[in-house]
Amino acid sequence: MQFISSLKFYSIYLILLFSQTIYAQTNSNSYIVTYLEVNPAAIDKSINLLGQISQSNLNLQENIFYVVLQRIGRPNHFAIIEGWDSTSSMNNYLSSSVKLDFQKNITPFLYSPYDERIHSALTTNDWTAEGEKNSDIVFGVTHIDIVPTSLDTGIKIIQELVSYSRNDDGNIFFDVLTQESRKNHMTLIESWDNSSNQISHSLQKHSSSFRSSLLPISGSLYDERVYKKIW
């Protein structure tokens, strides 16, 4: 019985390894997605801290982008989406005094753990600064968990969704990242010129078909969150 369990574990490991090798892009950038849930009484103080670290990182040559988002409907929920030009640049940042001081200072405001997830690219386009000053722009951040034995199928339907969605009205970008610690976990990041087009996208046939196809091979609840950019 122990041998069978070990064999099953090894088989799943190989599935994850080879699936990512086949589908990974030739993109050496590293990405971090961080979720923060703060005490509602500390929203303003948290936004100030987020602004400070955002400005610090945007001045770094190694930083590709650093976007701070505030959740619509839950203003005490934040997300940080950041890109670095290499793994070494990202690791240097993670161990820097700027990053460590930020985490230390914001932790007292949190009512859930500091949730930081390192990613690589599954499918990405160049992020654009076009229209960033437009207050109507909305962002979607979705966590997708695929059961390991169906990873090939899951990646295929995700890539199909991306292909269609990038052509939807109002789309600014539509990218997917793979979580490094769990290769069967993805983060879908999208941006739209306004909330109406974001909702319209959700109602498109390719969106509903994707959700229907994903459900039987999903390992957890489809966690979609909508945000506005604050930094």
Provide the CATH number for the domain around residue 15: 3.30.70.100
Structure tokens at 157: 């339907």
Cβ 158 vs Cβ 23: under 8 Å = no
Q: Which residue shows structure tokens 């997300």?
A: 79
The predicted structure's pLDDT at residue 4: 44
The predicted structure's pLDDT at residue 107: 98
Cβ 117 vs Cβ 33: under 8 Å = yes
Choose among 41, 48, 53, 39: nearest CA to 109.
39
The predicted structure's pLDDT at residue 113: 97
The predicted structure's pLDDT at residue 128: 52
Specify the DSSP class assigned to residue 72. Answer: T
Range of the domain at 76: 2-229
Cβ 41 vs Cβ 76: under 8 Å = no
The predicted structure's pLDDT at residue 9: 43
The predicted structure's pLDDT at residue 135: 86
The pTM for the full model equals: 0.87
For the chain, what is the total number of helices (H) and then of strands (E)?
Answer: 7, 8
The predicted structure's pLDDT at residue 14: 44
pLDDT, one tens digit for every residue, the chain (231 residues): 554 444 444 444 444 444 444 344 456 899 999 999 999 999 999 999 999 999 999 889 999 999 999 999 999 999 999 999 999 999 999 999 999 999 999 999 999 999 999 999 999 986 654 445 578 999 999 999 999 999 999 999 999 999 999 999 999 999 999 999 999 999 999 999 999 999 999 999 999 999 999 999 999 999 999 999 999
86/28 Cα distance (integer angstroms):
6
Q: Which residue shows structure tokens 């169906």?
A: 150
- How many structural domains compose the chain? 1
Structure tokens at 128: 């654009």
173/201 Cα distance (integer angstroms):
13
